[in-house]
């Protein structure tokens, strides 16, 4: 199964998502989108495939969102996409793509919907159990 993740190694959610993909026995294509941002068309495609609005895909926390005036409700999707491409830290993460679909995996365990069944226990970096000792998804 081919899986791609738009990854930020400084983000715990992104690291946990990547770990879950690997826990499922898949070595994904890892795109560090801060170094190699997607094209505007690819970003728009990813957002639509994940069933999100452009605003839903913008990261506000820890970004220049407010400073750039992106909270202006009159801005078009096109203008928001331009801002996200110019300043990739505005792209929320991690986006994951698999044959089962596309998702913004927040929380990280949302990635399980895009993977084959995983029955081995898994715990996040912070110790939160995602898959218990019986192989049951906790959330």
User: What is the reported pLDDT for 77?
Assistant: 97
pLDDT category of residue 139 using cuts at 50, 70 and 90: confident
Tell whether pTM > 0.75.
Answer: yes
Does 11 participate in catalysis according to the annotation? yes
Taking Cα atoms as reference points, which of 9, 10, 8, 26 lies closest to residue 111? 26
User: What is the reported pLDDT for 109?
Assistant: 96
Mean pLDDT of the chain: 96
Taking Cα atoms as reference points, which of 107, 100, 111, 84 lies closest to residue 18? 111
Interval 68-82: pLDDT, tens:
999 999 999 999 999
User: What is the reported pLDDT for 130?
Assistant: 95
Pair of tokens at residue 42: 């690819």
Mean pLDDT of 21-37: 97
Domains in the chain: ranges and CATH: 4-131 (3.40.30.10)
Spatial separation of the C-alpha atoms in residues 43 and 113, rounded to whole Å: 21
pLDDT category of residue 12 using cuts at 50, 70 and 90: very high
Question: Residues of the chain with pLDDT > 70: what percent?
Answer: 100
Interval 42-71: pLDDT, tens:
999 999 999 999 999 999 999 999 999 999
Q: Which of 11, 47, 81, 130 is catalytic?
A: 11
């Amino acid at each position: 199964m081919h899986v791609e993740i738009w990854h930020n190694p400084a983000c715990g959610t992104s690291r946990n998502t990547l770990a879950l993909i690997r826990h499922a026995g898949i070595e994904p294509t890892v795109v560090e989108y801060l170094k190699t941002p997607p094209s505007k068309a690819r970003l728009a495609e990813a957002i639509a495939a994940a069933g999100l609005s452009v605003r839903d895909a913008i990261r506000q926390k820890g970004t220049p969102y407010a400073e750039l005036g992106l909270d202006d409700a009159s801005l078009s999707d096109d203008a928001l996409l331009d801002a996200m491409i110019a300043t990739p830290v505005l792209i929320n993460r991690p986006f994951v793509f698999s044959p089962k679909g596309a998702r913004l995996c927040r929380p990280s365990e949302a990635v399980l919907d895009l993977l084959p069944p995983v029955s081995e226990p898994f715990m996040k970096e912070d110790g939160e159990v995602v898959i218990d000792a019986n192989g049951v998804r906790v959330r």
